[in-house]
Amino acid sequence: MSTAGPERTGGCLCGAVRYEVRGPLRPVVMCHCTQCRRVTGHFMAATAARRSDFRLLAESGLAWYDSSAEARRGFCSNCGSTLFWQGAGRDYISIAAGTLDGSSGLRTACHLFAGDKGDYYEITDGMPQLHDGNFSLKWP
């Protein structure tokens, strides 16, 4: 399920990075890859927006880290909030779901890189568990 509705806003903990999305959001995926676990301290819960529907409203604290040859990660250099994941050549930007203002109305679709999950927790919610990042979701 995606959310089309009116514009959605979000940002980091200190407010130095703010964004808006004017268009549908992808259902949330939970990524358990080693990089996501290290950058968040657990696993990443991320929605996404088409680049054409996404706009930064404030970016004074935004910094990017090239985490691999295929992707970079956006975070706030002031408060440290994890915000974005942007794959090279992708027409969307992944957004940390917890950075959205208010109630999101989004639902979880699946778990990615489930085999890389931390050994201190189990995935027990019944959602599909994929062992790579290849997934396909209906997204208007």
Range of the domain at 16: 8-116
State residue 2's pLDDT score. Answer: 47
**Do the domain assignments include residue 122?**
no
Q: Is residue 121 part of a domain?
A: no
Tokens matching residue 84 = 């974005």
Each residue's pLDDT, cut to its tens digit, for the chain (140 residues) gives 444 555 899 999 999 999 999 999 999 999 999 999 999 999 999 999 999 999 999 999 999 999 999 999 999 999 999 999 999 999 999 999 999 998 778 999 999 999 999 999 999 999 999 987 777 766 66
Is residue 75 a part of any domain in this protein?
A: yes
Please tell me whether residue 41 adopts helix, strand or coil conformation: coil
Give the per-residue pLDDT at 134.
75
Structural domain total, the chain: 1
Buried residues in 77-97 as b, exposed as e (16+ CB within 10 A): ebeebbbbbbeeeeebbbbbb
In whole angstroms, what is the distance from residue 28 CA to residue 100 CA? 12
For residue 132, being part of any structural domain is answered with no
Whether 126 is covered by a domain: the verdict is no
Q: Is residue 53 included in any domain, yes or no? A: yes
Q: Please count the other Cβ atoms lying within 10 Å of the Cβ belonging to residue 121.
A: 10
The CATH number of residue 51's host domain is: 2.170.150.70
Residue 45 lies in a domain: yes
Give the burial class of 130: count Cβ atoms within 10 A of its Cβ; 0-12 exposed, 13-18 middle, 19 or more buried: middle
Q: Do the domain assignments include residue 128?
A: no
CB 58 within 8 A of CB 74: no
pLDDT at 102: 84
Q: Could you give the CA distance from residue 1 to residue 24 in angstroms, rounded to a whole number?
A: 10
Residue 34 phi, psi dihedral angles, 5° rounding: -60, -40
